[in-house]
Amino acid sequence: MKSRQYLDWDAGVALTLVEKIASSRAGPVLLCLQAVQEKFGFVHDSAVALIAEACNVSRADVHGVLTFYADLRSTPPPAVPVRICASEACQAVGGRALKAAWVQLCADDSELAELTGTDEPIFCLGNCALGPAVMIDGELLGCVDVLRLREAVASACIVGGAVG
């Protein structure tokens, strides 16, 4: 598992990115948002206007798409984002207990909490047979308990260099 490295926000790079997509496909707002997030880790406020102009739609249209999809974010991600599946199949095999244990672990360890940020619920990672499922820094893990989750975060930190 490796921690993602993102560029610092750069409107010029973002404009080049979205203009290339907007000129090559129809209805590209979502593709532009995904491309910006892939490059910078999130969709900067300035990207909304930039994408709206490149795609010839209103800012409200872009904002609507941005806020509709839970996977799109408008704030920088934590160093090692952790997302615990909150859907039924995972809840049936301990997802709620895992979430509660993780929240408690983060409450007891401020460094861990800062490193992983607030768990933003995600609804089904497509790994229902191996629940509870967790996405750690973009990598999918199944049959996760809190100790395995802690180890995976530590491993992501070592590989990605998030902590010394």
Measured CA to CA, the distance from residue 126 to residue 109 in angstroms comes to: 30
Residue 89 in contact with ligand FES, rule: CB under 6 A = yes
Q: What DSSP designation does 56 have?
A: T
Q: Identify any residues that bridge with 122 across adjacent strands, giving them in sequence order.
A: 85
CB of 95 to ligand FES, least distance (A): 7
Q: Among 29, 55, 66, 90, indicate the residue that binds ligand FES (CB under 6 A).
A: 90
Measured CA to CA, the distance from residue 69 to residue 151 in angstroms comes to: 29
CB-nearer residue toward ligand FES: 125 or 136: 125
CB-nearer residue toward ligand FES: 72 or 140: 140
Reading the block at residue 41, the tokens are 């880790």
Residue 93 in contact with ligand FES, rule: CB under 6 A = no
Q: 28-57: which residues touch ligand FES (CB under 6 A)?
A: none
Measured CA to CA, the distance from residue 58 to residue 48 in angstroms comes to: 9
CB of 145 to ligand FES, least distance (A): 15
Identity of residue 102: W
* Cβ contact 154:136 at 8 Å: no
Residue 133 in contact with ligand FES, rule: CB under 6 A = yes
Q: Among 87, 103, 119, 148, indicate the residue that binds ligand FES (CB under 6 A).
A: 87
Residue 14 has a CB neighbour count (10 Å cut-off) of 23
Q: Among 43, 131, 136, 146, indicate the residue that binds ligand FES (CB under 6 A).
A: 131
Reading the block at residue 117, the tokens are 């940020």
CB-nearer residue toward ligand FES: 44 or 83: 83
> Which residues contact ligand FES by CB under 6 A?
85, 87, 89-90, 124-128, 131, 133
